[in-house]
């Protein structure tokens, strides 16, 4: 059985007719326009509607027919993006310390980026860390 992996974020989901067994099916449109369908009677169909999978990069696992049979958050991409955002925020903060910008705003962006990086790092390591408010 040949499997394929696609990485992307969900743009929209359209519920299709239920399977003969009464399970939901979805047409999933990714940001960028790619369309995928969930495999009939796969548990993932109901889980995709969960808010945990909205507005985040996902790794879609497709069967030989090109249908989604599993999905997981793409922690590697999230960690890479968080690391880049943290580096940029640190640079902005350092520039602001030298008097070339709004220090308070730069400092707040740095703290937010650092928190996001720690969350992404914990997720990549399979740990749960509650968000600080």
**Is residue 61 domain-shared with residue 81, that is, in the same domain?**
no
| Mean pLDDT score, 13-30 | 91
Q: Do the domain assignments include residue 133? A: no
What pLDDT score was predicted for residue 45?
82
**Is residue 50 domain-shared with residue 82, that is, in the same domain?**
no
User: What digits encode the pLDDT tens for the residues 47-94?
Assistant: 887 767 777 788 899 999 999 998 887 777 778 888 888 889 988 888
CA–CA dist 49, 124 (Å, integer): 22
Any idea which of 14-23, 63-72, 73-82, 111-120 has the lowest mean pLDDT?
A: 73-82
**Is residue 87 domain-shared with residue 119, that is, in the same domain?**
yes
Q: Last residue of some domain: 73, 99, 115?
A: 73
**Is residue 21 domain-shared with residue 41, that is, in the same domain?**
yes
The parent domain of residue 53 ranges over 4-73
The upper half-sphere exposure of residue 104, i.e. CA atoms within 13 Å in the direction of its Cβ, equals 0
The count of structural domains within the chain is 2
Q: Do the domain assignments include residue 112? A: yes
């Amino acid at each position: 059985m040949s499997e394929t992996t696609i990485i992307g974020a969900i743009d929209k989901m359209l519920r299709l007719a239920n399977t003969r067994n009464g399970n939901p099916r979805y047409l999933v449109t990714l940001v960028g326009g790619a369309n995928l369908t969930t495999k009939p009677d796969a548990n993932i169909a109901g889980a995709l509607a969960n808010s945990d999978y909205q507005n985040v990069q996902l790794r879609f696992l497709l069967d030989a027919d090109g249908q989604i049979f599993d999905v997981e958050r793409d922690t590697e991409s999230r960690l890479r993006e968080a690391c880049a955002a943290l580096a940029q925020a640190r640079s902005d903060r350092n520039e602001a310390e030298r008097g070339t910008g709004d220090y308070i705003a730069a400092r707040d962006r740095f703290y937010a980026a650092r928190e996001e990086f720690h969350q992404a790092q914990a997720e990549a390591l399979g740990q749960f860390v509650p968000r600080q408010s």
